[in-house]
Amino acid sequence: MPGIYIHIPFCRKACHYCNFHFSTNTKQIQAMSEAIVHEAELRKDYISGKVETIYFGGGTPSLLPLEDLSKLIATFKKLFDVDPDAEITLESNPDDITAEKLAGWKEAGVNRLSIGIQSFFEEDLKWMNRAHNATQAEACIHLAHQAGFDNLTIDLIYGTPTLTDEQWKHNVDKALSLGITHLSCYALTVEAKTALADMIKKHRIEDVSADKQGHQFELLMQWMQEAGWEHYEISNFAKPGHRSRHNSSYWKGASYLGLGPSAHSFNGTSRQWNVANNALYLKSIEQNIVPFEIEQLTPEQQLNEYIMTSLRTMEGLSVPYVQLHWSDKQAEEIVRDAEKFLQHNLMEHKNDRLILTQKGKLMADGIAADLFR
Ligand code: SF4
């Protein structure tokens, strides 16, 4: 079930913590969308089979003019075998959301809206340097419902120095009360070369606390369990029947075509990524050359990716799957190495699957790395 990811590399304002590829100079947005159409034409044979998901990420795809978004979706439908029921997601920011834009997105074929809320508290949003305010954070969700978007997901960030446990509870309760069907929650991470890392280094702001993040993640898991939502991936929760099909296919190792600067693609055995530079990308595509680097994945690397991604999901790692796609020996070694995690109640072995417990989810990356071959 292949998918298409489109990276729209523009943002209104630079959030202090962000290390994605984007530019705040939006002058070339139209030229970029034309280049992405052209890249899709150049790479139409990269994926085969029915395209089941299309995902506009970034950056800020909600900055795209409506006619450009419509043209991109129409191009994909022309070049690829897009399933009539394909999930088409658009990432958006609250400050871009208007009734007119929502109607246009629907008309263009978007059927799942993802909104970068991050927090309903003004102080938190200011600390992150978000472009929207607390009033817009709530109002845009009502607007999206009025426009008929019932497949609605929002992002929240926890672990910021400005967010107390009570405020975190308020953010989660508020999100659940607004009728969304999917929730993604991320611990604030301090990435190198971001404004946040710089400010912390210069002691201009308080550093983030790993203990506080772990505690707020535990609280989150408890509240979402009480609310009856599926914790189907470390950072993702869904009401039954509303998992993200696009992200789920990444975690299942499906192939995907990534278009636009910095976008990654995967075809089952190799991973490639486009240049993370808007000017170079535009110039290269104009010359009919896709500017990318590529890495062929060894069977061990593919197995390690499977270990990492499967352990993050509620279905966990399937031992028979490892036997089938790699070897009996590797499956046996993984089960042997997992023993210590089973003993410490960090993992369960159920129906031939290794599944992280709530306690284990707090250290998912470390556990996965320990099981790497
Ligand atoms: S809007 Fe998203 S992509 Fe843009 S700077 Fe903020 S976090 Fe990064």
Distance of CA 256 to the CA centre of its chain: 14
In a shared domain, residues 149 and 225: yes
Distance 339 CA to ligand 1 centre (A): 40
Secondary structure of residue 321 in the 3-state scheme: helix
Distance in angstroms (rounded) separating the CA atoms of residues 246 and 36 = 19
In a shared domain, residues 353 and 223: no
In a shared domain, residues 236 and 316: no
pLDDT (tens digit per residue) in 29-62: 999 999 999 999 999 999 999 999 999 999 999 9
**pLDDT at residue 248, rounded to an integer:** 84
Q: What is the largest CA-CA distance in the chain?
A: 58
**Residue among 19, 60, 184, 278 whose CB has most ligand 1 atoms within 8 A, to mutate:** 60
* pLDDT tier for residue 286 given thresholds of 50, 70 and 90: very high
Residues 238 and 232 sit within 8 Å (Cβ to Cβ): yes
* pLDDT tier for residue 252 given thresholds of 50, 70 and 90: confident
In a shared domain, residues 163 and 75: yes
**pLDDT at residue 12, rounded to an integer:** 95
pLDDT (tens digit per residue) in 179-203: 999 999 999 999 999 999 999 999 9
**Last-in-domain residue among 228, 251, 274:** 251
State whether the beta carbon of 20 lies less than 6 angstroms from ligand 1: yes
In a shared domain, residues 150 and 24: yes
**Last-in-domain residue among 186, 216, 251:** 251
Q: Is residue 294 domain-resident?
A: no
| Average pLDDT of the segment spanning 276-291 | 98
| Average pLDDT of the segment spanning 216-240 | 97
In a shared domain, residues 24 and 91: yes
Q: Is residue 214 domain-resident?
A: yes
* pLDDT tier for residue 1 given thresholds of 50, 70 and 90: confident
The CATH number assigned to the domain holding 167 equals: 3.20.20.70
State whether the beta carbon of 15 lies less than 6 angstroms from ligand 1: yes
In a shared domain, residues 303 and 364: yes
Residue 251 has pLDDT above 90, yes or no: no
Q: Is residue 265 domain-resident?
A: no
Burial of 78 (0-12, 13-18, 19+ CB in 10 A): exposed
In a shared domain, residues 210 and 97: yes
Distance in angstroms (rounded) separating the CA atoms of residues 299 and 108 = 40
Q: Which atom of ligand 1 is nearest to the CA of 19?
A: 8
| Residue among 180, 185, 132 nearest 156 (CA) | 185
In a shared domain, residues 152 and 231: yes
Distance 24 CA to ligand 1 centre (A): 10
Secondary structure of residue 115 in the 3-state scheme: strand
Split into its structural domains, the chain has a count of 2
Q: Is residue 53 domain-resident?
A: yes
| Residue among 223, 244, 286, 238 nearest 113 (CA) | 244
pLDDT (tens digit per residue) in 101-152: 999 999 999 999 999 999 999 999 999 999 999 999 999 999 999 999 999 9
Q: Is residue 293 domain-resident?
A: no
* pLDDT tier for residue 249 given thresholds of 50, 70 and 90: confident
**pLDDT at residue 254, rounded to an integer:** 86
In a shared domain, residues 308 and 240: no
Residue at 356: amino acid letter: L
The CATH number assigned to the domain holding 330 equals: 1.10.10
| Average pLDDT of the segment spanning 233-245 | 95
In a shared domain, residues 41 and 181: yes
Distance 215 CA to ligand 1 centre (A): 25
Domain enclosing residue 353, as ranges: 299-371
Distance 59 CA to ligand 1 centre (A): 6
| Average pLDDT of the segment spanning 192-220 | 94
Distance in angstroms (rounded) separating the CA atoms of residues 373 and 360 = 20
**Last-in-domain residue among 187, 216, 251:** 251
Distance 348 CA to ligand 1 centre (A): 37
Distance in angstroms (rounded) separating the CA atoms of residues 97 and 144 = 8
In a shared domain, residues 26 and 172: yes
Distance in angstroms (rounded) separating the CA atoms of residues 119 and 124 = 7
Q: Which atom of ligand 1 is nearest to the CA of 130?
A: 6
